Amino acid sequence: MQRLVIKGGRVVDPASGIDALCNIYIMGGRIASVKAAKDDETELIPGAPGLEIIDAAGLVVMPGLVDLHTHLREPGFEYKETIQTGAEAAAAGGFTTILCMANTRPVNDNQSVTSYIVNKAKGALVNVLPVGAVTVGLKGERLTEAAELKDAGCVALSDDGMPIVKSGLMRRALEYSKALDLTIISHAEDMELAGKGVMNEGAVSTRLGLKGIPNAAEEAVIARDIRLAELTKGRLHIAHVSTRGSVELIRSAKKAGVTVTAEATPHHLTLTDEAAAGYDTNAKMNPPLRAKVDVDCLRQALKDGTIDVVATDHAPQSVMEKDVEFDRAANGIVGLETAFSLVYGLVEEGVLTFNELVKVMSLNPSKVMSLDKGTLRVGASADIAIADLDAEWTVDPSTLKSKSKNTPYAGKAMKGKIVKTIVGGKIVFDCLKEA
C-alpha cells in the first residue's frame, strides 16, 4: 500500500491537543499514525517503492482548512467560476473541504441540481459539499424538500445571497430542519432597510456620496433569527457577521444557551469601509466593509469564541460585473487564495494564536456542520495543509487559480503561505510545482 510520510514539521492539531514536531504517516488516504519526531525511530528509506516522504522541516502541518461559505457559480455562471476552478483555488489556499452556496442558476433547490454538483465535484481537487436552498428558487415562499436534498448530498441549508424575509417561514425552516439535523445558514439582511445602499453607511459613504447600508440592516435580522432559534431549538448559523451590534447579539444569545454559531470573513476582519475610497469596486460586497470599531469588535469576537469560524464568502465576479460604475457593480470578492495569509496576519498582530487559527479555519467549521473533518487524529481522512509561516509573497490577481480576479488585496504584501495541500492522502497543491 502507498505510504506518505510528512516528516519533521510542526504539527498543529487542536482537536488532539498537539502542537509539536511530529511525523505523520498516511496510508490508504487516512492518517495511520502521528509520532513525535524526537521519539520516532521508524526507518524510512528515501526512494523505497510505495513510499513518499515530504520533508516538512521548518513548516507547519495542520488539518486541511474547511470553508463553510463559497460561491462556485456552477451551474449557470461558469464564466465566473466552475466547481473545478473553485476547487483549484481552494487547494492553493490550503482548503481541503468547501461548502458551496445554492444561488446558482438553476438554484440548488432540488436533488437533480445537487446531484449535478456532486457529480462535478467528484473530479475536483478538494471535497466540495453543496448547501441546499431553504426555499424554492431562493424566493422565500416555500420550503425545499430538504430530506431529499440531504440524501443527494447537501450538508446544510441556506438562501445565502437573499435573506428569508418572512419570519414565519424562517421559523418553520428552523423547526423542520431539526429532524434532518441540518443547520440553517442565515444571510441576515433587512433588504428594505438596506435599500439601494452600496457600502457601509457612515462618514465614508457621506464623503464619497454613495448610498449607505446601516449596521441595523444586519442586526435587526440577526436579532430575529436568534429569537427564532431560541423558540424552535433549531440549528442556526449566521453567515458573514460584519457589525459590532451583531457580535453583541450573538454573544448574549450564546450566553443564554441558544444554539447559534457564527462566521466572519477575512475581509471583514482586515478591511474597513475606507477601502472603497477611489471607488474601487473590489471593495464592494454584501454585507459591506464596515467601520474600524466593527473590525476591532469582530477580531475580539473571533478571539473569545463568539465568532466560531472564519469563512471566505468566496464570490467570483467577472470584469463585466466589476469594471463598471460603483453603484452598478456586483458584490463580492474572491477569497480562497488569500484567506490563510490574511488570518495569519492576525496571528502576527497578536490577535490570535496559531492554534486558534487552526480552530477557526478547520476544526470549528467542521464541528459547526458536523463534518468528519478538521483533525489529524488517527483514522481521520488525510486532509492536510502545510504552510511556510516565514514565506513572504505579494498578491498578484493574474496568478490566482480562481477564474475571477476580483480581489481588493492586489499588490498587498502577505506573510505566511500555503506550500502543500493534501486531500485524502493525495497532494493536490504543491507550490514548488507552480510555474
Partner 1 sequence: MKTKRKDLLGIENLTVDEIELLLSTAESFKEVSAREIKKVPTLRGKTVINLFYEPSTRTRTSFEIAAKRMSADAVNISIASSSAVKGETLKDTARNLEAMKPDAIVIRHSSAGTPEMLSRYVGCSVINAGDGAHEHPSQALLDLLTVKERLGRIEGVRLAIVGDIAHSRVARSNIYGFTKLGASVTVAGPPTMMPPGIERLGCRAAANMTDAIKDADVIMMLRIQLERQDEAFFPSAREYSRLYGLDADKLRTAKKDVIILHPGPVNRGVEISPDVADGPYSLILDQVTNGVAVRMAIFYLLLGASRET
Q: Should residue 212 be labelled a site residue for partner 1 when binding is judged by CB under 8 A?
A: yes
Between 158 and 200, name the residue whose CB sits nearer to partner 1: 200
Site for partner 1 in 248-267 (CB under 8 A): none
Q: Should residue 323 be labelled a site residue for partner 1 when binding is judged by CB under 8 A?
A: yes
CB of 85 to partner 1, least distance (A): 24
Of 225, 313, 383, 388, the catalytic one is 313
Between 48 and 203, name the residue whose CB sits nearer to partner 1: 203
Among the listed ranges 80-88, 201-209, 304-312, 335-343, the one in contact with partner 1 (CB under 8 A) is: 201-209
- Helix H or strand E encompassing 83: helix 83-92
Helices (H), strands (E): how many in the chain? 14, 18
Q: Is 313 a catalytic residue?
A: yes
Between 80 and 237, name the residue whose CB sits nearer to partner 1: 80
What residue type is assigned to position 300 of the chain? Q
Which residue in 74, 160, 201, 308 binds partner 1 (CB under 8 A)? 201
CB of 202 to partner 1, least distance (A): 5
Q: Should residue 210 be labelled a site residue for partner 1 when binding is judged by CB under 8 A?
A: yes
CB of 209 to partner 1, least distance (A): 3
Count of positions on this chain that bind partner 1 (CB under 8 A): 22
Between 196 and 255, name the residue whose CB sits nearer to partner 1: 196
Among the listed ranges 127-135, 139-147, 167-175, 324-332, the one in contact with partner 1 (CB under 8 A) is: 324-332
3 state DSSP class of 60 = strand
Q: Should residue 207 be labelled a site residue for partner 1 when binding is judged by CB under 8 A?
A: yes
Residues in Cβ contact with 234 at an 8 Å cutoff, skipping those fewer than 6 apart: 173, 174, 175, 177, 178, 184, 228, 259
Between 326 and 393, name the residue whose CB sits nearer to partner 1: 326
Torsion of CA 418, 433, 383, 9, to 10 degrees: -60
Q: Tell me how far apart the alpha carbons of residues 100 and 133 are, in angstroms, rounded to a whole number.
A: 11
Give the Cα-Cα-Cα angle 382, 101, 414 (nearest 5 degrees). Answer: 60
Which triple of cell numbers denotes residue 99?
Answer: 461548502
Cell 466593527 -> residue: 294
Give the Cα-Cα-Cα angle 305, 370, 296 (nearest 5 degrees). Answer: 20
Q: Is 342 within 8 Å of 269 (Cβ atoms)?
A: yes
Q: Tell me how far apart the alpha carbons of residues 250 and 118 are, in angstroms, rounded to a whole number.
A: 33
Q: Should residue 233 be labelled a site residue for partner 1 when binding is judged by CB under 8 A?
A: no
Q: Should residue 206 be labelled a site residue for partner 1 when binding is judged by CB under 8 A?
A: yes
Cell 490577481 -> residue: 397
Between 146 and 276, name the residue whose CB sits nearer to partner 1: 276
- The sign of the dihedral angle between the CA atoms of 417, 376, 250, 159 is positive
Which residue in 44, 191, 324, 378 binds partner 1 (CB under 8 A)? 324
C-alpha 130: how far from chain center: 13
Binding mask 269-298 for partner 1 (x = CB under 8 A): ---------xx-------------------
Q: Tell me how far apart the alpha carbons of residues 229 and 160 are, in angstroms, rounded to a whole number.
A: 18
Residues labelled as active-site residues:
313
Residues that bind partner 1 (CB under 8 A): 195, 201-212, 278-279, 320, 323-328
